Amino acid sequence: MVGNLFKCTCQFAQEGVFLCYSGPTSHEILVSTGNTLKQFLKNNNVCKKKYYCIFSIYVEMFENIIRYGVDCFPSGANETCQRYPYGILSASTDGEKITIQSGNIIALEQGNKLNQYLNTIHSMNPQAIRDFYREKRKNKCAPDCKGAGLGLIEIVRKSSQPIKYSFKNIDETFLFYTLTAVI
Amino acid sequence: MNNLEIPKTKTSPEIKFNISTHELSIKGESFPENTSEFYAPVFEWLEEYLASVTDQTIIVNIELMYFNSSSSKVLMDLFDMLEESVKEGKNITVHWRYDEENEMAVEYGEDFMEDIVSLPFHLVKI
């Protein structure tokens, strides 16, 4: 186990990962790791525009996991128990750009819908994504939507390159979904 | 009716609505755990307040360095509500206060301004 962690740490160091969280997600962890991210950006004199774009992408990715991720740590049979969906998030830098990545487990049918949606929004140009954001904000949310339904659009809008995403089958029911944004 | 004062937290802005100066302000960062739950008392308060005023000049100062997408939706609802009141003859002006270095804050302010027709909405550099 120690060998594995050392291997992970070395790999992170090589890839410029300065923050990584893996485990059950909650709003509290979003706030504390988000503050660590902000502190790192401040210490490295990242300009205000980039600072808020990076933080915003981190928050939206984290909130998406909290809302839509599959709970891999069921705390009991009681349905009223707090959910803690599993997620992994990382922030890395090559010295110039910052990359934020998220990975989590979702149900197969969720993945199909998500994939189609991401295909339509991922390469929209800045004006198109801005217009789409405003259009969606005016409309009522879809019934299966747990937030404002704007999170992914916000991520595309604040990224400085098209976002990347992948879906890997875990078994017949679940997928591992990753999202990468570069600022 | 009392003033509305909600102190700022790590994830929610300071909210101060004053019934004697008719100045309403939302200042800070907004990404509360449950956005609609957090803003519900604000909308409740506003509804009562707007019903009580006549032709007083109301200034709404919004100074948000950061807000998440759920808060963005809530802000739109807030501006829709204020816009309705303007149509009914109330005198309301929104000041979207932004830091010049934070270009996104300007862009988001411009978006709101374009989406609102009857509510006076000004971008104000801090």
Average pLDDT, rounded, for chain A:
91
Average pLDDT, rounded, for chain B:
95
Q: What is the pLDDT of residue B104?
A: 86
Answer whether residue B15 shows pLDDT above 60. yes
Closest chain B C-alpha to A57 CA, distance in angstroms: 9
Tokens of A179: 């999202």
| Nearest by CB: A63 against B68, B99, B102 | B68
| Nearest by CB: B72 against A63, A130, A137 | A137
Low-confidence ranges of chain A (pLDDT < 70): 1-2, 73-81, 141-148
Res. B26 pLDDT band, cuts 50 70 90 = very high
Residue-wise DSSP of B26-67: EEEEE--SSHHHHHHHHHHHHHHHHHH-SS-EEEEEEEEEEE
Q: A150: nearest CA in chain B? A: B69
Q: B70: nearest CA in chain A? A: A148
Answer whether residue B3 shows pLDDT above 70. yes
CA angle B70, B73, B75 (to 5 degrees): 110
pLDDT in tens, B44-68: 999 999 999 988 999 999 999 999 9
Q: What is the pLDDT of residue A71?
A: 85
| Nearest by CB: A138 against B35, B101, B115 | B115
Residue type present at position B13: P
Q: What is the pLDDT of residue B36?
A: 92
Q: Is the dihedral of CA A119, A142, A144, A99 positive or negative?
A: positive
Q: What is the pLDDT of residue A140?
A: 72
Calculate mean pLDDT across residues B29-56: 95
Calculate mean pLDDT across residues B29-48: 96
What domains are there in chain B, each with its CATH number?
4-125 (3.30.750.24)
Give CA–CA dist B94/B124, Å, rounded: 10
- In chain B, which among 51-90 make CB contacts under 8 A with chain A? 65-66, 68-70, 72-73, 76
On whether the A2-182 domain is CATH 3.30.565.10, my answer is yes
Q: What is the pLDDT of residue B10?
A: 95
Percent of chain B beyond pLDDT 90? 91
pLDDT in tens, B105-116: 899 999 999 999
pLDDT in tens, B80-107: 999 999 999 999 999 999 998 888 889 9
B interface test, pick of A48, A53, A139 with most B CB neighbours within 10 Å: A48
Q: A57: nearest CA in chain B? A: B68
